Amino acid sequence: MPHLPQVPDIFIQQAREAAKDRTIDQNTQILKGIHTTDYLNRQITRNKESVTTRIQQSGAMSPEWEQWCRENIFSDFFETTARISTGASDTHGAHVDKPAKVRLYYLIDQGDSTAETVFYMSPGKSVVHDAESHTGPNPIHELDHDKLIELERVQFPLHQWILFNGYVLHAVEKNSSPRINLTVDINPSTFRFLIHPETT
Ligand SMILES: [Fe+2]
């Protein structure tokens, strides 16, 4: 979404500080109900081998950042955080974001130059998941990558906002380094479309 402004340097620095790699703190994520112990320690199967997975940690940004987002990015977001992917692995493991159905996403540090976001589907399941009526593992995730169908793989641009559907199964692959982003999470019901009349 190149029409949205780049994030000022002061907030980039704030995001790097907020999302510093740290030995947390799984307990906080578990207590907040964000993730379960099982999810944080999950192993996937890839090429018939068991592989450990990376995790995302999030860090709080300032009220000034939230204000900047309201004025410049989206006025009705429900959460914005700085996030870092860490762990001794090169895969995040296929998952559906929780609770973000839709997020504006701004990549600050890619991690490895090979890092790619890969979108998948499970055979027999819908591409876009319905997390609200889902009763299985929480958040929705798939452990057996050998049975997944790859839909697309992309390298997100650096320092540019993109719109991301978190309810499609996805994983960052081929990355073993810290990867930092900002997210602005949106409830799709708050979307408004501005349609300008065509001018000639
Ligand atoms: Fe995700």
In a domain? residue 197: no
Q: What is the pLDDT of residue 124?
A: 92
In this prediction, residues 139-165 reach a mean pLDDT of 94
In a domain? residue 120: yes
- Expressed in angstroms and rounded, the spacing between residue 93 Cα and the centre of ligand 1 is 9
**In the numeric block, which tokens belong to residue 68?**
């900047």
Q: How far apart are CA 83 and CA 126, in angstroms?
A: 28
Note the pTM of the prediction, 2 decimals.
0.88
- Tell me which of 174 and 2 has the higher pLDDT: 174
Q: Residue 75 carries which DSSP code?
A: T
Radius of gyration (C-alpha) of the chain in whole angstroms: 17
* Tens digits of residue pLDDT in 114-142: 999 999 999 999 999 887 777 777 788 89
- Expressed in angstroms and rounded, the spacing between residue 169 Cα and the centre of ligand 1 is 8
**Total number of domains in the chain:** 1
- Expressed in angstroms and rounded, the spacing between residue 95 Cα and the centre of ligand 1 is 6
CATH code of residue 131? 2.60.120.10
In this prediction, residues 49-61 reach a mean pLDDT of 90
Whether 24 shows a pLDDT value over 60: the answer reads no
Is the distance from CB of 82 to CB of 180 less than 8 angstroms?
yes
- Expressed in angstroms and rounded, the spacing between residue 168 Cα and the centre of ligand 1 is 9
Range of 133's domain? 9-186
Angle between helical axes of 63-72 and 9-18 (0-180°, round to 10): 130
In a domain? residue 87: yes
Q: What is the pLDDT of residue 47?
A: 94
Task: Return the top range by mean pLDDT from 88-92, 109-113, 141-145.
Answer: 109-113
Q: How far apart are CA 58 and CA 171, in angstroms?
A: 17
Cα–Cα separations (whole angstroms), residue 97 to 4, 59, 79, 190: 23, 16, 13, 18
Q: What is the pLDDT of residue 108?
A: 97
Reduced to 3 states (helix: H, G, I; strand: E, B; else coil), residue 185 is strand
